[in-house]
Structure 1
Amino acid sequence: MTIRTRRTLAALAVVGLVPALAACTGEDAPGESGSTPVPADSAASAGPAELSGTVTLVTHDSFALGDGLLESFESETGLTVEQVAVGDAGTLVNQLVLTADSPLGDVVYGVDNTFASRAVDAGVFEPYQPAGLDDSAASLVGDGLDGLTPIDKGDVCLNVDTAWFDDVDVEPPATFTDLLDPEYADLTVVTNPATSSPGFAFLLATVEEFGEDGWQDYWSQLADNGLKVADGWNDAYYVDFSGAGEGGERPIVLSYATSPAFTVTQDGDATTTAALLDTCFRQVEYAGVLSGTDNPDGARALVDFLASDEVQADVPGSMYMYPADASVELPAEWEQFAPLAEEPHDVAPAEIDAHRDEWIEQWTATVIG
C-alpha cells in the first residue's frame, strides 16, 4: 500500500471531514501571548465540565488518525468533531493569522516550530496544555511557545531513491554540497519555503549550515544545477520524486527521515529510499486551543485527546512522524529504516521570528528570480 493510499484511508476515517482546510485562529483570548498555560483540570474544582456540541479541528492536509480513534473520542465525550483543512502548514499559519479576529474553529493541529512564533505573536492561541504532559513532550516547547502542546516531531531532510541510483550505477549524494556536483544536475526537487513548512525548515537548515553570509550563494548554485521547486510536499513527493512509485522523474526530494520506512520492500528486508541525515532540520508539530473558541471545554478535551497515549501510539502509522511522547513504543522497522538525525540543524525560534520574512524574500529573489 502506498503512503498516499494509507493517508487517504486514514483521513476518510475522520468524522465530519470538510473539504479545503481553511485555517482558523482566534480572538478575545482569555490569556495574552506569554501568559501562564491553563492546566487541564483548572476548571474542574466543581467537578468535570459537561461536554457537548461540535468542536472544529483546523489542520494541515496531512492530518490523519487510525480507524475508529476519533469516533471513540466522540462516543466517550458526546462531542462531534469536524475537520477543516487548508493545505501545507505554511498556508495553515497564514490563514490562522489572517482570521485571528474571526476564528474558523476551536482547535488547530499542525502548526510547527518554524512558523509557530508568528501565530503566537498574532494572538491566535488561548494558552493551554494538558495536565500530566510527559517530560519528553513538554521539553519540545520552544522558547516563546508556552501554551502549545507538542503532538509529534520529525526530521525534514533530503531523501534519495536508492533504487534509481543503483540502476544508473551512480553513488547517491550524502551532503548539502554534494547536490552542487554536475553529476546531480536536474535531479533534485524541494518545496517552496514561502508556502511549505518542510521547505522553510530546509531553508533554515541551510542558513544554519552555511551561515548568514553563505546560504544565498549555496541556493544560487543549487538553482543553477537544475533545482526544481514545488509548492507543497505532496507534489514534490508524489508527482516529481521517482521513489514514490507514481511516475516521478527526480530521484532526490525534500521529505522526512521517516519516509524510508514507508518504501520498504515486500519482504521487509530493505527499503528503496534513504534519508540524508546530515541535511536534517528537527520539526515539531503542535496543537492549540484557538482564541475565541465557542466551545472552550470541548476544545481543551480535544487537545487532551491529541496528546493521549492512544493518539501518540497512532502517530507513526497515520502521520509518519515520531510521537512527541518518547515513551511510546515505535514500529519495529523504524529503528532500521527511519532513525532520527543525531545532530539535526536548529535555529532558535527568536531568530526565526526576527528573520522569517527577510529570509523568504531573499530566497525567492535568489531561486525564483
Structure 2
Amino acid sequence: MSSTRPAVTDDGTPPSTTGGITLHSTTSTTRRHPVRLAALALASATLLAACASAGPTPASTTTPGATASTSEAPASGPVTLLTHSSYELSKEQIADLKEKGLDVKVVQVGDGGTLVNQLILTKDAPLGDVVFGVDNTFASRAIDAGVFEAYTSPALPAAAVPLKVAGGDAVTPVDQGDVCINVDSVWFEKNPDVPVPATLDDLTKPDYKDLVVLTNPATSTPGLSFLAGTVSQYGADGYLEYWTRLKDNGVRIADSWSDAYYSDFTGAAEDGTRPIVLSYSSSPAYTLTDDGGTTTASLPATCTRQVEYAGVLAGAKNPAGARAVVDYLLSPELQATLPDTAYMYPVDPDVALPESFQKHGALAENPIPVDPVVVARDRDTWISDWTDTVLG
C-alpha cells in the first residue's frame, strides 16, 4: 500500500529551492517505511501478547562519567522519552510500562539530526529523561556536548557492540539497519530502456538524470550515513567531486527521510517523480505484494550500517525511570517488535525476525565501512563542505 503526502511543507508553503536543488523543510511524523495494513494488524496483536511479560529490570545507580553498578529501589513515576519522528512506543507497551510503575510519555522531535541538535540546545534544561534514536553518525556530537549520563544496562546482550568513540559507553545500542539506495522496481519494469543502477557511480550516469532523491546530512541521519559512505568510498579528496557529479545529474535533496520517501519517491508517493531514493535495506520488506513479493529493492553495494542508541539524559527529572526505560528497550519482548515498529533489526541477534524481513529486508553482507572515530572527528567539516558544494 502506498502512502502519500502533499508536496508542501507543514506550514502550507511549497518546497524551497536552493542552488537548483529542491529542498523540503518539513518535520514529519510519518513512519520510516510504508507498512501494509495487514502487517500493522499483526504487529498490534504481537505487541499485545509480547508486552504482557515485558518490563524494566531494576535500574542501577550511576553518576555522570561512571557506569552503573549499585542496585536501587524499583523505578517509578513519570518518564519522558524523546525520539525521532519514525518511532513511538505502542499503546500496549505504554500500558505495560504503566503496570510496572512507569508513566511514559513519548515526544517525537523530528528526524535524527534534528533530535541531536535539540538535545544539545536544551542540555542545561533537558526536554525529557531518556532518548532513543540517536545514531552512530551523530551520537558523538551529543556525547561531546555532555548530553548523557553514562549508564551500562544489565540487559545489554553480550553480542551488542558499543559505540567505539571516547565516551561511547554513555549510549546503549538498541537496533541496527543499513542505509541504502532503494529503487522502485515497478517503475523500472515500466521503463525497460533504463537499467536498474547497482553502484554509487551509477547514480551519476545520464540514465538517471533527475531520477534520484537523497537527504540532507545536516538534518537527516540516513543522509549523514550516506555522506560518510561516499567519503569512505571516494576518499577525503574525492567525495566532493562525486557529489558535484550527482548535482550536475539533477539530484534532489530533501531535509528528511520521510519527505524523500513519501513526497518524491515513485514507489510510495502517487505524485512522486523519482524512482531512486535513499532509504533502508529493510524498506522492501514493507512494500509487499499480495503474492509475497515486493515492489521495491535495495542496492547492497550502496549500503552503510546504521546503529541507533538510547541514553539517559544528564539532568533528567527521573533518572531511575530513564534507566528502566533503557532496560525495557533491550528486553527480548520489545526487541522482537522492532522490525514492525522501528523497521530496523534488533540489536539482540537471538530475536526471531518476521519472514518478510528475512526474505526482503536482509542486511548487506559487506556494507561500506564507516569509522565512527573518523565521523566524530570530521563530520562537521564534511557537512560544511557538502553544503557549500551541493547547496551553495
> For residue 162 of structure 1, what is the aligned residue in structure 2?
185
5 Å-filtered alignment, 1:119-268, equals: 119-137=142-160, 139-144=161-166, 145-169=168-192, 170-268=194-292
- What SS does the corresponding residue of 1:242 show, helix, strand or coil? coil
Q: Which amino acid aligns with 1:185?
A: K
Q: Would the alpha carbon gap of residues 153 and 85 (structure 1) be closer, same or farther in structure 2, given more than 3 Å must change?
A: same
Q: 2-side partners of 1:347 and 1:289: how far apart?
A: 26
**Alignment counterpart, residue 371 of structure 2, candidates 348, 355, 365:** 348
**Match in the other structure for 2:6:** none
Tell me which residue corresponds to 2:307: 284
Aligned to 1:366: 389
2-structure distance, mates of 1:332, 1:347 = 29
Q: Give SS of 2:284's match.
A: helix
Contact 1:65 1:311 in 2 (8 A): no
* Matched-pair contact (CA < 8 Å) for 1:130–1:149: yes
Letter in 2 for 1:325: D
C-alpha distance in 2, partners of 1:295/1:176? Answer: 46
Q: Post-superposition shift, 1:300?
A: 0.9
1:31 & 1:130 partners in 2: Cα distance? 14
2:151 and 2:171 in contact (8 A); partners too: yes
Secondary structure of the 2:71 match is: coil
Using the TM superposition, give the Cα deviation of residue 70 of structure 1 relative to its aligned residue in structure 2, in angstroms: 2.1
How many Å separate the matches in 1 of 2:255 and 2:191? 29
For structure 2, list consecutive stretches of 5 or more residues without a partner in the other structure.
3-32, 48-60
- Give the conservation status (yes or no) of the 8 Å contact 1:59–1:110: yes
Q: Does residue 1:38 correspond to 2:33, yes or no?
A: no
Asked whether the equivalents of residues 65 and 315 of structure 1 are also in contact (C-alpha less than 8 Å), the reply is no
The one-letter code of the counterpart of 1:143 is V
Change in Cα spacing, 1:244 to 1:110, as seen in structure 2 (3 Å) is same
Displacement after TM superposition at 1:335 (Å): 2.2
Structure 1: gaps of 5 or more residues? 15-28
- Percentage of pairs with the same residue: 54
The aligned residue for residue 17 of structure 2 is none
Query: Aligned partner of 2:362: which letter?
Result: P
Q: Matches of 1:64 and 1:153 in 2, distance apart? A: 16
Counterpart residue number, 2:11? none
1:100-111 counterparts in 2 under 5 A?
100-111=123-134
Maintained 8 Å contact 1:155/1:340:
yes
Letter in 2 for 1:209: Q
Q: Which amino acid aligns with 2:238?
A: G
Q: Distance in 2 between matches of 1:330 and 1:133?
A: 19
Aligned residue pair count: 344
Root-mean-square deviation (CA, aligned residues, Å) is: 2.3
**Does structure 2 retain, via aligned residues, the 8 Å contact 1:97–1:124?**
yes
Could you give the per-residue CA deviations for residues 118-171 of structure 1, whole angstroms, max 9, x where no partner exists? 11111111111211421222x243232113111100000100001101101022
Output the CA distance in 1 between the equivalents of 2:373 and 2:302.
22
| Contact 1:140–1:324, Cα closer than 8 Å, also in 2 | no
Residue 327 (1) aligns with residue 350 (2): yes
Question: In 2, Cα distance between the equivalents of 1:177 and 1:276?
Answer: 12
> What CA distance in whole angstroms lies between the structure 2 residues aligned with 1:164 and 1:103?
45
